[in-house]
Amino acid sequence: MDTLAEAERLFTQLVAWRRDLHRHPELGFQERRTASLVARTLRELGYAVQEGVAHTGVVGVLENGAGTVVMNRVDMDALPIQEANDVPYASQVPGVMHACGHDAHVALGLGVATVMSQHREAWRGTLKLVFQPGEEGMNGAEVMVNEGVLEHPRPTAMLATHMWNDLPLGVVAATPGPMMAAAEEWEAVITGHGGHAAAPEQTVDPIATAALLVTALQTIVSRNVSPLDTAVVTVGMLRSGDTFNVIPDSAELQGTVRTFDPAVRETVVRRLRELVSGTAQMMGAQASLRLHSLTPAVRNDPQITALVQQVIRDLWGPDALRQDVRTMGSEDAAYFLREIPGCYLLVGSAPQESTAPPHHNPHFDIQERAMVNAVAVVTETLCRLLPPDQPPQ
Ligand SMILES: [Zn+2]
Ligand SMILES: [Zn+2]
């Protein structure tokens, strides 16, 4: 099979699917219209379809002879953003927009489903297509894993793909090892003792304590983490007081921690706890800390990533491949990749001559040809993971 030609032939259909979904975006766990389009299309292509998985997810399975099981995952949800683009396919839902490219992901998932079902001579085994709801901060992948999506049949390898506006059209990134960070969310409350702004000696000032804490937290990355390791500690919210002449009772801070390595994560979290309680104690205040793990790190399997890299080189030549793209952003595909070895790839979707609006921006849009590239690289990799001449299992 000429994968590039097959993907190219689908271009008009990919654009039609993507624009239809772009006009009708749905928030996480509400992807009902999207899911019914997916289920209908998969059934027409001959897949066994399961709907209502993790509320609004869809799983399609195509058996094509004895062999291994390989999974492809795409996400489907939109964001609570008012679209600012003036395009014919702009969102028709006020305050909701596909501003991360998941509309294109659904289209590429259906594109892959189409080529794989029309070219069963090019592969053998079982293909499992997972259309996941609620990626944007909702951990839909974790819900799917808990509902048994990775069983019956259990895949031995998987792929997941994101349109990527930090890379130009024509470039595809497949980075071995950790490539998206583990994320935690934390919240600290400092309780002092309020009073008159002109009589600070009668108070325990939570604002002065919070200010010291924010400064102290900067030493975690600079003094406790090795310069050769990677971590982020950000204070994203600091709230206290109501007026100029009152020292308030308490201050509240919220932030996030991002790490690649579990040992680094442990160090950062330990120091966060120590600095919150130590700074409060030093100032005579009380402090509490609540820490919540959002997602593990996305870790790409070296062997499957090497295969994806070879596919990229074979399809477009060595200049199309990037193997060093990492981000401290997080992605709930990590819940799948923690159990099944795989590769999370980033497909360049920015214009070649200029920069593109970033993901989650009201002006976000993609170069739609990126969908052709995504279908080609995913389909070709799936065929090589499911070779037609593999020995029976
Ligand atoms: Zn997003
Ligand atoms: Zn996304």
Q: What is the pLDDT of residues 5-40, one digit of tens each?
A: 999 999 999 999 999 999 999 999 999 999 999 999
- Only one residue has tokens 């310069």, namely 227
Give the closest ligand to the alpha carbon of residue 74: 2
The predicted structure's pLDDT at residue 162 = 98
391 domain residue, yes or no: no
Mean of pLDDT over the chain: 97
Domain presence at residue 393: no
| Mean of pLDDT values over 352-372 | 96
**CATH number, position 247:** 3.30.70.360
Looking at the fold, whether 105 and 196 belong to one and the same domain comes out as no
Same domain, 136 and 193: no
Question: Are residue 79 and residue 50 in the same domain, yes or no?
Answer: yes
Q: Quick one: 110 and 81 in the same domain?
A: yes
Last residue within a domain, chosen from 272, 295, 318: 295
Q: Residue 16 contacts by C-beta under 8 Å, 6 or more apart in sequence?
A: none
Is residue 392 in a domain? Answer: no
CATH code, 363: 3.40.630.10
pLDDT above 60 (res 84): yes
Q: What is the value of pTM for the model shown?
A: 0.92
Residue 289 and residue 301 in one domain: no
Considering the domain architecture, whether residues 20 and 107 belong to the same structural domain is answered as yes
25 alpha carbon to ligand 1 midpoint, in Å? 13
d(CA 77, ligand 2 centre) in Å: 8
Does the structure show a pLDDT above 60 at 392? no
pLDDT band per the 50, 70, 90 thresholds, residue 389: confident
Task: Provide mean pLDDT across the span 132-148.
Answer: 97
Phi/psi at 189 (nearest 5 deg)? -120, 125
CA–centroid distance, residue 11 to ligand 1 (Å): 24
Is residue 166 domain-shared with residue 190, that is, in the same domain?
Answer: no
159 lies in some domain:
yes
How many angstroms is it from 79 CA to the middle of ligand 2? 9
Q: Are residues 322 and 339 in the same domain?
A: yes
Check whether residue 192 and residue 307 sit in a common domain.
Answer: no
Enclosing domain of residue 366 = 3-180+297-385
Q: Are residues 368 and 248 in the same domain?
A: no
Span 297-320, mean pLDDT?
Answer: 98
Predicted confidence (pLDDT) at residue 390 exceeds the cutoff of 80: no
Q: Is residue 390 part of a domain?
A: no
Predicted confidence (pLDDT) at residue 105 exceeds the cutoff of 70: yes
Domain boundary among 295, 326, 350: 295
| Ligand minimally distant from the alpha carbon of residue 75 | 2
pLDDT at 363: 98
Is 226 part of any domain? Answer: yes
Position 52 confidence tier, pLDDT thresholds 50, 70, 90: very high
Q: First vs last Cα of the chain: how many Å apart?
A: 24
Ligand 2 mean position, distance from CA 164 (Å): 9
What is the whole-number distance in angstroms between the Cα of residue 62 and the centre of ligand 2?
Answer: 26
| Total count of domains within the chain | 2
| 90-105 mean pLDDT | 98
Q: Is 317 left (phi over 0), alpha (psi -120 to 50) or beta?
A: left
Tell me how far the alpha carbon of residue 349 lies from the centroid of ligand 1, in angstroms.
Answer: 14
Classify residue 157: in a domain, yes or no.
yes
Question: pLDDT at position 69, please?
Answer: 98
Expressed in angstroms and rounded, the spacing between residue 136 Cα and the centre of ligand 1 is: 6
Residue 201 has pLDDT above 80, yes or no: yes
Spell out which residues have Cβ within 5 A of ligand 2, the ion.
Answer: 100
Higher per-residue confidence, 354 vs 175: 175
Residue 81 lies in a domain: yes
* Ligand that lies nearest to the alpha carbon of residue 333, given by its number in the listed order: 2
Of 248, 277, 295, which one is at a domain's C-terminal end? 295
The model's pLDDT over 257-281, given as tens digits with 9 standing for 90+, comes to 999 999 999 999 999 999 999 999 9
Share of the chain above pLDDT 90, in %: 98
Distance 128 CA to ligand 2 centre (A): 21
pLDDT at 242 over 60: yes
